[in-house]
Amino acid sequence: MTRDLSDLMAAALDVQEREIAGIAPQPAVFARTVRRVRHRRLVRHSVESSVAVAAVAGLATAGWIGSRYAPPPPAHTPSPTIESPSPTPTPTPTPTAVSLPGLPPVLPLPDGLLATTTPGWVLTTYRPVSDDGAVAGQYLVLASPQGERYLVADLSTTGEVRILSWQAGAPTARVLVEGAPASVDLSAGSITPDLRTLPDAVYVATMAGGLEVWMTPSEGPEPPPTYAVPPEGGAWMIGSLGSSSAPVSVSPDGRLLASDTASADAVVVVDATTGVRSVIPFGQPNAQCSTVAWIDATGVLAQCFDYNGGAGPFEWNPRLVRAGLDGAVTVVRQQIAGDPFTSAGAGTYLSDGVVAVAGVPLAPGPGTANACPEGVYLTDGTPVQVSPGATTLAAHGGAVYVATMPGCEAASLPTVLTLHDVASGTGVVLAPAPPDGSWTTGLTSWVVGRG
């Protein structure tokens, strides 16, 4: 009779177990072995403990192991994950503000910053004077349109310096040192006198390309001789302006000069390059007019009024007039209450037809044409900055730069320079007063960097 495979394997297993039964350990040996194994289980890892249990079972039933035990797979030991630490970034040191008597907080000038400045940056001089008349120092300070200020040079050992002009990004600026023309190296702070002689001449303006205009004041109503001084080379005479006392306005393209005649009934326009001179009557009978600023490339804006002995400017028929180079004269605004009443040279061109002026809002009742300005306004009365004081203006890129000395007396508070974006109505302080109240003077001159 044929036996199947399962029967044959069972019989063989029974014979094998009987043959090795005699090698099973004695009970005492077995007990000691069990105790040792249990001890190891307490101190080894789980994988080692499993192996120990298997060993005990093998001692008890060796035949069963020999036929049916399969060794466990090797324990999996995970490979360690090695993470490379990210490099720690080197922190950028925060510049430490420079603290000097009478100077508002300024930062050291970073290497290369001067060369990257663009039109709209401002170069200033500070010459702090204390209440007792002591001068604490003199400094060149650079201000960004956002209000950051940087110390450019210490000029404390130099005579009084006033900035005339500066091209943004240039390493030098034109200055007056004790009234004499010179150039200052902005990196070294060194002064180079300009030896080109202009006897008794006074600075008027800087035109396109850095061409300077100087004037020799004359006595009485005679027109003053006027000279053009290029960046290099000799000066030449370009005719004469309207009068020695009249403020001068520069056209938007930096080519033409405008100033009033001594009789205040016409404006004189001079081409700074060619010397061509034109006289344009205001065409307002029995009126007094003053050129405020250029209103576009070919015309000036004038404040006119008819003085009739009334209580104040509101009763004097105040109006704004455009006088064009072609001789055409038009009233561009008949002024009403709230409009600014302004004066000669008290405005700055913003864009064609838009001028910002320092003045006093018109109102019925007593008033005076010579009142200290109460603020800066657009010609339609829109306020730019309401802050009374002696004011000078400049403009660039739709923004107005306003320097205000609170009060209009000789002994007043330090001047503060602010920048106002006309479109957004926002403003920022570019050159503040000294940080405490013991100074009569701080900011002494400033120019907007030209292109």
Per-residue confidence band for 448, with pLDDT thresholds at 50, 70 and 90: very high
CA-closest candidate to residue 448, choices 399, 406, 384: 399
C-beta separation of 317 from 307 below 8 A: no
Structure-block tokens of residue 302: 């004038």
- Min mean pLDDT across 47-56, 82-91, 261-270 is at 47-56
What confidence score (pLDDT) does residue 89 get? Answer: 58
Domain residue spans in the chain? 6-68
More confident residue, 37 or 196: 196
Handedness of CA 362, 363, 369, 371 (dihedral sign): negative
Collapsing DSSP to helix, strand or coil, 239 comes out as: strand
Q: How far is CA 387 from CA 173, 252, 391, 418, in A?
A: 30, 26, 9, 11
pLDDT digits (tens, 9 = 90+) for 379-401: 989 999 988 898 999 999 999 99
Q: How many residues does the chain have?
A: 451
C-beta separation of 229 from 196 below 8 A: yes
What confidence score (pLDDT) does residue 22 get? Answer: 43
pLDDT digits (tens, 9 = 90+) for 147-181: 999 999 999 999 999 999 999 999 999 999 999 99
| Distance (Å, whole) CA 121 – CA 117 | 7
Q: How far is CA 400 from CA 162, 253, 318, 395, 421, in A?
A: 21, 17, 24, 4, 7
pTM: 0.78
| Distance (Å, whole) CA 393 – CA 377 | 11
pLDDT digits (tens, 9 = 90+) for 356-376: 999 999 998 876 656 789 999
What confidence score (pLDDT) does residue 49 get? Answer: 34
pLDDT digits (tens, 9 = 90+) for 7-18: 434 443 343 434
Collapsing DSSP to helix, strand or coil, 427 comes out as: strand
Q: How much is the mean pLDDT over the chain?
A: 82
| Distance (Å, whole) CA 139 – CA 184 | 12
